């Protein structure tokens, strides 16, 4: 077991020394490294067992910091007004921005966001560096929404700055700004309908074979150990992940939101899958979840969790 940092200053010291440190964001815990240090960024890929073609999100303290790394069109600037928040923008890299090439996996764009979490923002300011941070879990597994899940996932080998449970619970929404088009590359904690409503601009879904895509959107992902059956009622011997006012069940069971609130369901999703998985069941049956609002991100994660594993 490594020793966890007890303050933002201690976490910043680790990062500035080129070490990894997990930290909380409003979505999920991130496995952080100084995005300008190639050795540190490489350690992220090694620790996660992440394929090298899958680029990382760069976390900034504010728009001013982001502007040193990427170019903002007027439309991109309007989206950036939604920061801090669970929204990642894929924008053209500025040449000579100081980022390690490994962060972008050779692309000429950078995925960038300003997280809405006081500890994350303090940490970026304390290091005065952009921080590369994918979700702090072994590649392909469930994302962590607490420091405990980070420790469990990496067997205590990664220091964690503990900021309590994450309030959103699913990853950020990723949007590529392509001229005057907005393309959603990953559904996430900022509901697409809300972005459209605030900006008055429509947001397209990335086609499966589109030229602009998020290379990390592998079909099997976010997977618990147990198998998953979606839109299902549990059978004997299975566990049940329910949604909405439901019947009782004799086996292991969690309810994402008894009142049918999608925000509460998103916050609980990974934590409850972790818990049911820990009970050692072979299959988790999942009730149908509405597809509107945050339901888009929840259904996306569930479909990947249920996909055949390679």
Applying CB under 6 A, the residues found at the interface with ligand TXA are 25, 27-28, 30, 54-57, 86, 88, 90, 104, 107, 109-111, 115, 133-135, 171-172, 174, 185-186, 214-217
HSE-up of 95 (CA within 13 Å, CB side)? Answer: 0
Least CB distance from residue 143 to ligand TXA, whole Å?
A: 7
Helices and strands in the chain, H and E counts? 10, 13
Question: Which of ligand TXA, Mg ion, none does residue 217 bind (CB under 5 to 8 Å by kind)?
Answer: ligand TXA
Q: Binders of Mg ion among 48-77, rule CB under 5 A?
A: none
The yes or no reply on residue 173 touching Mg ion (CB under 5 A) is no
Determine which helix (DSSP H) or strand (DSSP E) holds 177, and give its type and residue range.
Answer: strand 173-178
Would you say 139 or 287 has its CB closer to ligand TXA?
139
Extract the tokens encoding 225. Answer: 């150990």
Question: Which of ligand TXA, Mg ion, none does residue 22 bind (CB under 5 to 8 Å by kind)?
Answer: none
| DSSP alpha helix (H) spans, the chain | 8-16, 38-48, 63-67, 74-80, 101-104, 118-127, 147-153, 192-199, 262-278, 295-306
Would you say 135 or 299 has its CB closer to Mg ion?
135
Question: Which of Mg ion, ligand TXA, none does residue 129 bind (CB under 5 to 8 Å by kind)?
Answer: none
Q: Would you give the binding string for Mg ion spanning residues 109-138, x where CB under 5 A is met?
A: --------------------------x---
Residues 309 and 223: their CA atoms lie apart, in Å, by 9
For helices 118-127 and 8-16, give the axis angle rounded to 10 degrees.
Answer: 50
Question: Which of Mg ion, ligand TXA, none does residue 174 bind (CB under 5 to 8 Å by kind)?
Answer: ligand TXA
Q: CB-based contacts of 223: which residues, under 8 Å, 6+ apart?
A: 140, 141, 142, 304, 305, 307, 309
Least CB distance from residue 10 to ligand TXA, whole Å?
A: 20
Least CB distance from residue 257 to ligand TXA, whole Å?
A: 20
Would you say 33 or 174 has its CB closer to ligand TXA?
174
Q: Residues in the site for Mg ion, rule: CB under 5 A?
A: 135
């Amino acid at each position: 077991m490594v020793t966890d940092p007890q303050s933002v200053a201690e976490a910043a010291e680790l990062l500035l020394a080129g070490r990894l440190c997990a930290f909380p964001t409003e979505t999920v815990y991130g496995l952080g490294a100084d995005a300008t240090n190639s050795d540190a960024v490489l350690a992220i890929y090694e620790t996660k067992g992440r394929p090298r073609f899958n680029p990382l999100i760069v976390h900034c303290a504010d728009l001013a910091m982001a502007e040193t790394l990427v170019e903002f069109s007027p439309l991109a600037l309007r989206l950036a007004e939604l920061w801090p928040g669970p929204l990642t923008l894929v924008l053209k890299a500025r040449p000579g921005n100081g980022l390690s090439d490994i962060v972008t996996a050779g692309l000429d764009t950078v995925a960038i966001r300003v997280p809405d979490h006081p500890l994350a923002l303090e940490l970026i300011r304390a290091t005065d560096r952009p921080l590369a941070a994918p979700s702090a879990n072994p590649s392909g597994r469930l994302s962590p929404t607490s420091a405990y899940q980070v420790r469990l996932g990496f067997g205590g080998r990664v220091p964690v700055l503990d900021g309590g449970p994450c309030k959103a619970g699913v990853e950020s929404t990723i949007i590529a700004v392509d001229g005057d088009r907005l393309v959603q590359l990953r559904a996430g904690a900022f509901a697409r309908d809300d972005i459209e409503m605030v900006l008055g601009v429509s947001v397209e879904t990335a086609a499966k074979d589109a030229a602009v895509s998020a290379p990390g959107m592998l079909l099997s992902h976010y997977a618990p150990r147990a198998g998953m059956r979606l839109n299902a009622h549990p059978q004997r011997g299975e566990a049940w992940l329910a949604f909405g006012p439901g019947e009782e069940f004799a086996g292991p069971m969690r309810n994402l939101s008894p009142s049918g609130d999608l925000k509460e369901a998103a916050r609980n999703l990974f934590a409850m899958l972790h818990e049911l998985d820990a009970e050692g069941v072979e299959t988790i049956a999942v009730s149908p979840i509405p597809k509107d609002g945050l339901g888009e991100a929840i259904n996306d994660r569930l479909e990947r969790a249920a996909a055949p594993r390679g």
